[in-house]
A and B are shown apart, each in its own frame.
Chain A
Amino acid sequence: NAGVTQTPKFRVLKTGQSMTLLCAQDMNHEYMYWYRQDPGMGLRLIHYSVGEGTTAKGEVPDGYNVSRLKKQNFLLGLESAAPSQTSVYFCASSYETSGSLWGYEQYFGPGTRLTVT
C-alpha cells in the first residue's frame, strides 16, 4: 500500500500560470481533501469530496478548482496562480463518515511545496 501520494513534490510558478496537483490513494477511501498549510495558520481546508464525481468547498476555496473523476484520484487546479497561493499543499483521505457514530481519521500525503513568484 502506497497510501496517499502527491505529485509533484515541489513546483515554482510565475504569477498567472496554471497548474494541477494530483493526489492518489489506494485505500479505497470515499472521502478526499485538499488543505493548505501556512506558517501560524495551521491547516485550512480548500475543497473536499465525499465520493467520485462530487466536490464541495472548504474554508478557503477561492482561486482553486478540483475534480474527482475517479474514486482514487483528487485533482487540485490553480487557473491563474498568485503569490498568495505560495504554500504547502496536503491531500488527505478517509473512510466514509456519514452515519458513523464516531469520526474516522484522515490519512495524509507527503505534501507539495508550491512557490508563486
Chain B
Amino acid sequence: GDSVTQMEGPVTLSEEAFLTINCTYTATGYPSLFWYVQYPGEGLQLLLKATKADDKGSNKGFEATYRKETTSFHLEKGSVQVSDSAVYFCALNRGGSEKLVFGKGTKLTVNP
C-alpha cells in the first residue's frame, strides 16, 4: 500500500541555519505530495504542495521538489526562524483516492 517515510526527529537548529527534512514515498501511479505544518496547540495547515513530477512547491521560504526518480519530496528552507518551530508532516494523495497518507511527523525546534 501507499506509505510515507520522513526523517525521525526531533530536529534542533539555531536561527538562520539551513533546514532539510527528508521525505520519501511509496505509491502506485502519480500521487500529489504535500507538506503540512502544525504549530503548537493548533491544527495542521497546508504549507506547500506539488501535483506532478519536477513540480516545486514553495511557501513562506520553504521549498520542496517532487522527484519521481527518487520518490522523494524533501522540505528545505535556507534560513530558519524561531517562528518556524513546529511539527512538519509529509503526506501524499493518490489521484482518485479519498485519503491522505501521512508520515509520522518531524518536530523542529529553532533556538535564537
Contacts and interface: CB of A to CB of B under 8 A. Distances in A.
Interface residues of A, number: 29
Given A48-B99, A97-B93, A102 B32 contact: yes
A33 B44 CA distance: 13
Contact of A103 (B36, B43, B93, B104): B93
Interface residues of B, number: 27
Interface string A92-114: 10000111111111111111000
Contacts of B36: 108
A83 to B, nearest CB: 23
Given A102-B52, A108-B45, A42 B95 contact: no
A98 B95 CA distance: 7
A90 interface: yes
Interface of B: 30-32, 34, 36, 42-46, 49, 51-52, 89, 92-100, 102-105
